[in-house]
Amino acid sequence: MTVDAPAEQVVLLDDAGFAIGTADKSLVHDAATPLHLAFSCYAFGPDGRMLLTRRALGKRTWPGVWTNACCGHPAPGEPIEDAVVRRVRQELGVEPTDLRLVLPDFRYRAVDASGTVEHEVCPVYLAELSGDPVPDPDEVAEWAWTDPRDFVGVALLAPHLLSPWSVLQAGELVRAGVPEFRLEPLE
């Protein structure tokens, strides 16, 4: 006899960002997605380059789109930092270190071409990676290291090439003065 794994749960939020319940992840990403808790992680290699990933073609939302290193949802009761580490390990096959919260209040709503809505309170983290990822092909189709300034430039000049959340986050990371995303040349 095999036992099915429990369905992944997401934390539902009220407009003020407080938890009000949970729901099966597969049931909340549709045309009427309720506000829920998520996170984004931008990862950097030892040389300061940033990891971009292209979402697997089988992803329900924004398949094949280039984005930040990793996104996900904390399980009910799971500290967000633990969820970030868990998802980076699962999606990218590498251990993140030096996790740092840089945009604690990021929130967005976006609709993909299929009509599926993302509606999330999505704190943004930075992490260090000691080497190249070995991604799960169900999550990541391709990956590349890039200069974070080039990423910001693409977000500004060709936003259609990136996920909508990473475009919005790029602007907020620059406005917040996060050093990795400064636009002036490195000295």
* Contacts for 185 with CB less than 8 Å, ≥ 6 apart: none
Domains of the chain: 9-176 (3.90.79.10)
- Would the annotation count 139 as a binding residue? no
Task: Out of 8, 41, 70, 71, pick the active-site residue.
Answer: 71
Model confidence, pTM? 0.93
Q: How confident is the model at residue 55 (pLDDT cuts 50, 70, 90)?
A: very high
Cβ-contact 165, 72 below 8 angstroms:
no
Span 14-37, pLDDT tens digits: 999 999 999 998 888 888 899 999
DSSP-derived 3-state class of residue 46: coil
Distances, alpha carbon 20 to alpha carbons 81, 124, 132, in Å: 20, 22, 38
Compute the distance between CA of residue 98 and CA of residue 42 in angstroms, rounded to an integer.
12
* Active site (annotated) includes residue 71: yes
